[in-house]
């Protein structure tokens, strides 16, 4: 089988522990699959003394991840620290030292992925990151290899399990946002500080990674428009269902005539859309291309098992290529400064919930403002406000129009006597063609 390959783990949390267990439990099978024995030689941990049992098993422990990343007896560095620093510095150091790297770090790959991949290519080593998006869903490999014959036109994804769990609880069980969040935190799906998930930051990182691959362009998280789910109320899900839609936290990347349309926000999707049936902590990614039409991948998006599966698969692939003497895969040329579509010019239908005074003439007053901005109203529903008398919920959906026109409508209605509160604005998935 040839000489062994040394593995260095940076981080032994939930995923790191899963990778450690898998490599040890399946050592013989993995050796036969990749042609080399994989030896765990070193690991970086926060508290060395607390993991002393691992040291007794022969694993070298260090509190310094940079030390593990550059050890001479380590051939493949597995970065599972998370966050931008010191993870990015460790990845760069390992690549510069001629070591291949496997990472699950969506933040680093979103912010510095193209530069890191270019460094890996210059040094003749691999940088693999399947686990950075979608957990156990093999979407990175699909975009890199299986769909390379396609001209990809769009990627739509549900790629944050926390928000999808909360949205499912609000829709199915009628929970408020606060109750859904507490439930997610109790079950370990949400952090004590949930901002990265509920404000769409995590999903924006992941969409930047997917869009870069799908469109062969340098896309960063700052290029992705995002909104979170904090403004959603349980009654919005009932209104959406009555209109024939489900609400999902959708990440969308489309190629349009005006450039790349990159958005993460709560979205109304038709009940017949496969995305509408993705519930709980599941993730799903839909890719549309000129040859395949549309392909949908769905599965567990987080957790020790699915993420460890993706990490170990990358390790085995890298090890197999090293064992057979194959050169690292070349990266496709990237557009370093792709044109980005203006959100104001994106054409979509919209769902709006207002709190309005319960009096005659309100609908006519609102209708006049919509008409003055060229926005065509598709439907109107008025229901009693759930907690305040003398006011009502007014649900308005529009036909497809420029997003900027809705901005102008809302600006004109702000402070208007016709509107007590602008409750929520949700874009609807079935917009006009570009």
Structure tokens at 378: 């598709």
Q: Are 399 and 378 in contact (CB under 8 A)?
A: yes
Whose CA is closest to 216, among 123, 294, 306, 151?
Answer: 151
Whose CA is closest to 147, among 287, 254, 261, 299?
Answer: 287
Report how far residue 77's alpha carbon sits from residue 100's, in angstroms, rounded to the nearest whole number.
6
Give the 3-state secondary structure of residue 385.
coil
Give the 3-state secondary structure of residue 83.
coil
Structure tokens at 51: 């993991």
Report how far residue 274's alpha carbon sits from residue 18's, in angstroms, rounded to the nearest whole number.
31
- Under DSSP, the state recorded for 403 is H
206 annotated active-site: yes
Residues 6+ apart with CB under 8 A from 252: 154, 155, 156, 157, 207, 261, 262, 263, 264, 267
Structure tokens at 23: 């490599």
Q: Are 310 and 128 in contact (CB under 8 A)?
A: no
Q: Are 69 and 99 in contact (CB under 8 A)?
A: yes
Total Cβ atoms within 10 A of residue 115 = 12
- Catalytic pick among 99, 111, 206, 330: 206
N-to-C CA span, the chain: 55
Q: Are 245 and 428 in contact (CB under 8 A)?
A: yes
Report how far residue 43's alpha carbon sits from residue 48's, in angstroms, rounded to the nearest whole number.
10
Structure tokens at 37: 């024995």
Q: Are 98 and 119 in contact (CB under 8 A)?
A: no
Q: Helix %, strand %, coil % for the chain, to 5?
A: 40, 25, 35
Residues acting as catalytic residues: 206
């Amino acid at each position: 089988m040839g000489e062994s390959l040394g593995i260095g783990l940076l981080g032994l949390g939930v995923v790191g522990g899963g990778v450690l267990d898998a490599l040890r439990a399946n050592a013989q099978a993995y050796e036969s699959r990749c042609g080399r024995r994989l030896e765990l030689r070193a690991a970086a941990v926060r508290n060395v003394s607390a993991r002393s049992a691992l040291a007794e098993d022969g694993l070298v422990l260090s509190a310094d991840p940079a030390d593990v990343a550059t050890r001479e007896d380590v051939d493949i560095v597995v970065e599972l620290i998370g966050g931008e620093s010191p993870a990015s510095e460790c990845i760069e150091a390992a690549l510069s030292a001629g070591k291949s790297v496997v990472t699950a770090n969506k933040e680093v790959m979103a912010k510095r992925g193209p530069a890191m991949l270019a460094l890996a290519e210059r040094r003749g080593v691999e940088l693999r990151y399947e686990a950075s998006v979608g957990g156990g869903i093999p979407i990175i490999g699909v975009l890199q290899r299986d769909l390379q014959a396609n001209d990809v036109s769009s990627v739509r994804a549900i790629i944050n399990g926390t928000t999808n769990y909360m949205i499912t609880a609000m829709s199915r069980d009628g929970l408020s946002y606060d109750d859904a969040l507490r439930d997610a935190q109790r079950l370990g799906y949400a952090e004590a500080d949930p901002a990265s998930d509920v404000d769409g930051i995590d999903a924006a990182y992941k969409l930047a990674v997917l869009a870069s691959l799908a469109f062969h362009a340098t896309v960063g998280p700052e290029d992705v428009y995002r909104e979170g789910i904090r403004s959603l109320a349980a009654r919005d899900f009932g209104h959406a269902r009555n209109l024939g839609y489900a609400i999902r936290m959708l990440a969308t990347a489309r190629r349009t005539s005006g450039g790349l349309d990159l958005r993460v926000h709560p979205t109304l999707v038709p009940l017949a859309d496969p995305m509408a049936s993705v519930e709980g902590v599941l993730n799903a990614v839909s890719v549309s291309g000129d040859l395949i039409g549309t392909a949908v991948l769905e599965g567990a998006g987080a957790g020790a098992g699915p993420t460890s599966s993706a990490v170990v698969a990358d390790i085995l692939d890298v090890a197999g290529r090293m064992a057979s003497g194959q050169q690292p895969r070349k990266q496709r040329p990237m557009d370093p400064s792709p044109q980005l579509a203006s959100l104001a010019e994106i054409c979509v239908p919209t769902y709006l919930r207002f709190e309005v005074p319960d009096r005659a003439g309100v609908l006519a007053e609102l209708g006049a403002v919509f008409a003055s901005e060229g926005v065509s109203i598709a439907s109107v529903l008025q229901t009693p406000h759930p907690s305040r008398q003398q006011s009502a919920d007014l649900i308005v959906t529009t036909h497809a129009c420029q997003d900027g026109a809705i901005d102008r409508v809302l600006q004109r209605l702000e402070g208007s006597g016709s509107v007590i509160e602008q409750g929520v604005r949700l874009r609807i998935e079935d917009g006009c063609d570009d």
